[in-house]
Amino acid sequence: MPANLEAHRVDRTISDKLTKATPLLLLVDQILGTTLSVCGLDLEILPTPGHSINQVAVLTPDAAFLGDAVVAPALLERYPIQYCYDVPAHRATLERLAGLRKTWYVGAHFPPTQDLEGLVAANRRNLERTADAVLAAVAPAATTEEVVAGATEALGVLSMDASAYLLNAAAIKAHLSAHVRDDRLEFEIQGGRPVWRRRP
Residue 13 has pLDDT above 90, yes or no: no
Q: Which has the minimum average pLDDT: 11-20, 34-43, 52-61, 125-134?
A: 11-20
Q: Residue 67 phi/psi, 5° resolution?
A: 60, -125
**Closest of 146, 173, 44, 35 to residue 101, by C-alpha:** 44
Q: What is the structure's pLDDT at 35?
A: 80
**Residue 115's pLDDT band (boundaries 50, 70, 90)?**
very high
d(CA 174, CA 84): 7
Domain boundaries, the chain: 3-198
Question: Which pLDDT belongs to residue 6?
Answer: 37
Strands (E), the chain: 8-9, 35-38, 41-47, 56-59, 63-65, 104-106, 141-143, 185-190, 193-198
* pLDDT tens digit sequence for 129-169: 999 999 999 989 999 999 999 999 999 998 999 999 999 99
Answer yes or no: is pLDDT of 1 > 80: no
Give CA 15 to chain center in angstroms: 19
Which pLDDT score, from 0 to 100, does residue 24 have?
Answer: 47
Say what the pLDDT of residue 200 is: 87
On the CB side of 91, CA atoms within 13 Å amount to: 11
Neighbouring CB atoms inside 10 A of 35's CB total: 10
Mean pLDDT for all residues in the chain: 87
pLDDT above 90: residue 16:
no
Segment 72-85, tens digit of pLDDT: 999 999 999 999 99
Report d(CA 69, CA 194) in Å as an integer: 30
C-beta separation of 26 from 54 below 8 A: yes
Sign of CA dihedral 10, 133, 126, 70: positive
The model carries a pTM of: 0.82
List residues bridging with 170 in a β-sheet: none
Q: Which overall architecture, per CATH, does domain 3-198 show? A: 4-Layer Sandwich (3.60)
